[in-house]
């Protein structure tokens, strides 16, 4: 349950014609079943071209909190009434959750609703093999479905905010979001130190926060990507903090970040940062570059992360291959080639050296196959890489089972869920690759964050022991 809170809705009234009138503004908060939890009404006398009004409820207790495992959303309804009739109405979803930064001794991590969270993440781009940079709703939903199936709980919106409708999906289906501003001067970091660019840096961040701050899934603001050091990042940090108190991420400019952030940190280097760095939690904003047959050492990273006191998580680079269909093939309606494969193209297909020298590779070409670095294919098909991610990011760990004791230790790594409410446990015994016994374990209690032992009624091996 959420702590006792009050809900405040700040309204900007547009009275551009300067009409002198009286309006009744009404706020209602409904739970997921449609029951009214709280309401507030206020009479407002309007005469100026614009006015600001705050509607604040009484203290609310017993609220159900939002988290990625159980994304409980309330409905907020704002109505404008006059003479007893409804003139305007606005409705949105909202989840209550509490984000805290723990910095004490060697402990540097982030909690949500009082529970430490490991952010098991991926970066994601707006890309579609047929529509290019436009992503339709069905594909957004496919992305989120695959992420949830693969135990991904965090998305970094590299390197720009996502469409508002996808933020709404993040809220509804339950994913933690690092919302990143559309700001990168990679290769020209001098802009970050150039005062004439200050307003542009600030504006892009402020507009992101103003648009997205009511989304419960947004846990972090990211000020941009690979902008280097400079006062413009500090100015952006200050501007964001004036609007919202969520944690701020900024790779490359430590003074404007609540986290210490790195890219492509090795496993050994991560071990050296296991208590955090510079008194801050450590976050690997990009790692496990997934081009080709990749993410093979993901397990090594997470052994370090989950046993650390100062690493909060990491985001794979990246989610989906950015291959596109050959435009000529699209026009001809030939999206599948003669060999039965998608007629996708990538950097090699637009490299004049490769085109003019068939069978040869251009060592000086940066793009090549570089953008096909996702853990799912361009059409969002499951891959072996995603299977590896699902295994490493899983929330259940088994240990201790031997032929003699028949007892297995089950660790529930969910911060909030009781495993008994989600699933049951089957067992299977194989001999020389053939199944010789299988069964279902009696349902036990597996509270969040706890280890429980369970006896398995395995019969295999009894004859040998007798």
248 with 330, same domain? no
Phi-psi region of 208 (alpha: psi -120 to 50; beta: other; left: phi over 0): alpha
363, pLDDT greater than 70: no
**What CA–CA distance (Å, rounded) separates 373 from 319?**
8
50-59, 256-265, 300-309: least confidently modelled range: 50-59
Q: Is residue 362 part of a domain?
A: no
The pLDDT value recorded for residue 368 is 65
Partner residues linked to 279 by β-bridges: none
State yes or no: is 226 an active-site residue.
Answer: yes
257 with 345, same domain? no
Q: Is residue 377 part of a domain?
A: no
173 with 309, same domain? yes
State yes or no: is 286 an active-site residue.
Answer: yes
* CA count, 13 A, side-chain hemisphere, 294: 17
335 with 290, same domain? no
Contact 14, 55 (CB under 8 A): no
Closest among 388, 398, 464 to 431, alpha carbons compared? 464
83 with 125, same domain? no
Contact 180, 124 (CB under 8 A): no
Q: Among 54, 78, 94, identify where a domain stops.
A: 94
412 with 434, same domain? yes
The pLDDT value recorded for residue 356 is 79
**What CA–CA distance (Å, rounded) separates 167 from 161?**
9
Closest among 8, 23, 9 to 86, alpha carbons compared? 23
Partner residues linked to 53 by β-bridges: 11
Q: Is residue 229 part of a domain?
A: yes
Of 226, 235, 254, 437, which is the active-site residue? 226
23 with 158, same domain? no
180's tokens = 């990143």
Of 180, 273, 286, 388, which is the active-site residue? 286
383, pLDDT greater than 70: yes
Q: Among 94, 123, 157, identify where a domain stops.
A: 94
Q: Is residue 304 part of a domain?
A: yes
**What CA–CA distance (Å, rounded) separates 118 from 416?**
12
- For the chain, how many residues are written? 466
63-67, 131-135, 459-463: least confidently modelled range: 459-463
Q: Is residue 3 part of a domain?
A: no
Q: Among 67, 94, 121, identify where a domain stops.
A: 94
**What CA–CA distance (Å, rounded) separates 359 from 354?**
7
Q: Is residue 40 part of a domain?
A: yes
Q: What is the DSSP letter of 57?
A: P
> Quick count: other Cβ atoms within 10 Å of Cβ 218?
23
* pTM (2 d.p.): 0.93
Q: Is residue 147 part of a domain?
A: yes
| Structural domain that includes position 61 | 8-94
201 with 89, same domain? no
300 with 331, same domain? no
The pLDDT value recorded for residue 232 is 97
454 with 386, same domain? no
Closest among 5, 215, 10, 244 to 94, alpha carbons compared? 215
CATH of the domain at 140: 3.20.20.80
The pLDDT value recorded for residue 362 is 64
Partner residues linked to 29 by β-bridges: 38, 76
174 with 281, same domain? yes
Q: Is residue 369 part of a domain?
A: no
| Average pLDDT over every residue of 235-261 | 96
Domain count, the chain: 4
**What CA–CA distance (Å, rounded) separates 382 from 370?**
20
- Pairing between strand 434-441 and 85-94? unpaired
| Helix ranges restricted to H, 8-71 | none
Instruction: Give pLDDT tens digits for 395-424.
Output: 999 888 776 777 888 899 999 999 988 888
**What CA–CA distance (Å, rounded) separates 344 from 349?**
9
88 with 108, same domain? no
CATH of the domain at 47: 2.60.40.10
Displacement of CA 77 from its chain's centroid (Å): 27
Strand order in the sheet with 396-399: 396-399, 407-412, 451-455
């Amino acid at each position: 349950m959420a702590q006792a809170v009050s809900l405040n809705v700040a309204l900007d009234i547009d009275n551009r014609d300067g009409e002198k009138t009286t309006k009744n503004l009404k706020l209602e908060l409904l739970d997921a079943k449609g029951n009214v939890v709280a309401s507030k009404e206020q009479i407002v006398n309007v005469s100026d071209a614009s006015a600001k009004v705050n509607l604040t409820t009484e203290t609310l207790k017993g609220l159900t909190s939002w988290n990625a495992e159980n994304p409980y959303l309330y409905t907020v309804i704002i109505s404008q009434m006059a003479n007893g009739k409804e003139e305007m109405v606005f409705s949105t979803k909202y989840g209550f959750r509490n984000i805290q930064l723990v910095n004490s001794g060697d402990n540097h991590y982030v909690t949500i609703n009082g529970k430490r969270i490991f952010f098991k993440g991926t970066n994601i781009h707006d890309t579609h093999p047929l529509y290019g940079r436009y992503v339709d709703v069905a594909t957004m939903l496919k992305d989120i479905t695959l992420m949830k199936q693969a135990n991904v709980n965090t998305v970094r919106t590299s390197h720009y905010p996502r469409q508002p409708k996808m933020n709404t999906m993040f809220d509804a289906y339950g994913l933690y979001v690092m919302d990143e501003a559309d700001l990168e001067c990679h290769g020209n970091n001098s802009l970050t130190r150039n005062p004439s660019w200050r307003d542009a840096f600030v504006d892009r961040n402020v507009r992101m926060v103003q648009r997205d701050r009511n989304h419960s899934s947004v846990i972090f603001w990211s000020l941009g990507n690979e902008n280097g050091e400079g006062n413009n990042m500090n100015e952006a940090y200050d501007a964001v903090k004036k609007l919202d108190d969520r944690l701020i991420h900024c790779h490359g400019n430590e003074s404007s970040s609540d986290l210490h952030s790195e890219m492509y940190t090795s496993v050994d280097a991560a071990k050296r940062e296991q208590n955090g760095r510079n008194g801050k939690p450590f976050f690997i904003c990009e790692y496990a570059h997934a081009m080709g047959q990749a993410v093979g050492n993901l397990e090594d990273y997470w052994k370090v992360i989950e046993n650390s006191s100062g690493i909060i998580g990491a985001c794979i680079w990246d989610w989906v291959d950015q291959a596109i269909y050959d435009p000529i093939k699209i026009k001809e309606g030939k999206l599948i080639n003669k060999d039965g494969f998608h007629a996708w193209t990538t950097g090699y297909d637009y490299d004049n050296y490769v085109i003019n020298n068939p069978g040869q590779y251009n060592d000086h070409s940066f793009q090549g196959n570089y953008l096909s670095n996702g853990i799912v294919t361009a059409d969002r098909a499951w891959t072996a890489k995603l299977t590896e991610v699902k295994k490493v990011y899983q929330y259940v760990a088994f240990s201790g089972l031997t032929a003699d004791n028949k007892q297995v230790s089950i660790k529930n790594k969910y911060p909030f869920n009781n495993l008994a409410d989600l699933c049951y446990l089957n067992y299977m015994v194989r001999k020389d690759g053939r199944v010789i016994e299988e069964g279902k374990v009696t349902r036990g209690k597996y509270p969040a964050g706890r280890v429980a032992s369970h006896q398995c009624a395995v019969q295999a091996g009894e004859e040998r022991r007798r």
